[in-house]
Amino acid sequence: MRTRPLKVALLGCGVVGSEVARIMTTHADDLAARIGAPVELAGVAVRRPSKVREGIDPALITTDATALVERGDIDVVVEVIGGIEPARTLITTAFENGASVVSANKALLAEDGAALHADAEKYGRDLYYEAAVAGAIPLVRPLRESLAGDKVNRVLGIVNGTTNFILDKMDTSGAGYSEALDEATALGYAEADPTADVEGFDAAAKAAILAGIAFHTRVKIGDVHREGITEVTAADIASARRMGCTVKLLAICERAADGASVTARVHPAMIPLSHPLASVREAYNAVFVEAEAAGQLMFYGPGAGGSPTASAVLGDLVAVCRNKLGEATGPGESAYTRLPVSPMGEVVTRYHISLDVADKPGVLAQVATVFAEQGVSIDTVRQQGKDGEASLVVVTHRAPDAALSGTVEALRKLDTVRGVASIMRVEGE
């Protein structure tokens, strides 16, 4: 074993960063044995130096992150500060000064991953980011290494624990969205500003990363169709239950049947209770990967939190340190297919549409005519009426999303349709 330690700079010491530092200290001997050399925490960049950080030598604390990554003796930089800047500049500076990088920064990787990979390759460094996608769940490495010889056709999963907790509570307790969000906040699953989670931005960034790795093409967060869960109601949950379904916020990345394009989307969807994702409860994550040779694989576990995310960071740290000792680098970006990302309108889906309609003869015929004119086939219809008003629930067969959207617009123009109560896609057949 080499006795000279590999030096690690830690950027950020919040919930995840503090756990990374703790594990590096308490598991130092095990990490050294696994790597083949000791690792040493050489500096910790923070915004608030006066905060007490148990187990971390105060002499390691600095507010000058740039000076830390420019030192020249740093072997690996662990970036857990998040956001676009200054993280992007600090990572590039680390590459320039001889350090490889381990990051948990999904937003940056989804926005500017291609440029970061290019910089890593230019300077001969590693860029690892297992923790950016699904916390402790091994997903990035299986996709870009274990399945490197296979052809992945679909990635489908729950990649945001906050939204899964909220939807699970709405389903199991009958709570409304606001009540479930309040509970998630009280338990620490939701941030004070939950926008990134409940509006689907967090899941969309992860979908972009997963699609890029799975399909060997470049996918940015702006390419991902995104819908959040703020419009999901207790009535939607009840409708799903009557269909033998539940509602989940899904990230779905697919290769087109002809192999000429890919799609990436995040939105709420009804899935059958028989589907394995339907049983993913509370703040857990689960992802299905469908590959030609391997078949269907499922990855399940805690997708967020200090300890789970730190576990993924440390796994990457071990791999990068091993590469350093061997004077090698691991796999970089693979974007050779250069597949275009198709717009959401071309995606083929099913819909569950709930309409408030007049309770009189001929309404169902009018609605059915609209579907036929738009080229959308109806699977099932359920109608209930009382005191001159009725609800009509239509579940379609699979059709292009644009055709289904056109159908909804045409339905709104019928004088017998009082309103569109809810619209939701149906997945996981």
| Angstrom distance (rounded) from CA 143 to CA 294 | 12
Section 208-229 average pLDDT: 98
Q: What residues contact residue 216 under an 8 Å CB cut-off, 6+ apart?
A: 334, 335, 336, 337, 339
Q: Residue 390 — pLDDT band, cuts 50, 70, 90?
A: confident
Q: What is the pTM of this model?
A: 0.94
Q: Residue 320 — pLDDT band, cuts 50, 70, 90?
A: very high
Q: Is 151 a catalytic residue?
A: no
Show the tokens assigned to 234. Answer: 């207790």
- DSSP H helical ranges for 57-159: 65-69, 87-96, 106-123, 131-134, 140-141
Answer yes or no: are the C-beta atoms of 31 and 318 closer than 8 Å.
yes
Per-residue model confidence (pLDDT) at position 114: 96
Per-residue model confidence (pLDDT) at position 389: 74
427 residue type, one letter: E
Closest CA to 262 of 152, 356, 352: 152
Q: Residue 387 — pLDDT band, cuts 50, 70, 90?
A: low
Catalytic residue among 206, 220, 248, 324: 206
| Angstrom distance (rounded) from CA 12 to CA 14 | 6
pLDDT tens profile 61-83? 999 999 999 999 999 999 999 99
| Angstrom distance (rounded) from CA 25 to CA 42 | 12
Residue 252, classified by CB atoms within 10 Å of its CB into exposed (0-12), middle (13-18) or buried (19+), is buried
Q: What residues contact residue 124 under an 8 Å CB cut-off, 6+ apart?
A: 329
**At CA 200, angle to CA 195 and CA 203, rounded to 5?**
120
Looking at every residue in the chain, the average pLDDT score rounds to 94
116 residue type, one letter: L
Answer yes or no: are the C-beta atoms of 392 and 364 closer than 8 Å.
yes
Show the tokens assigned to 134. Answer: 């699904």
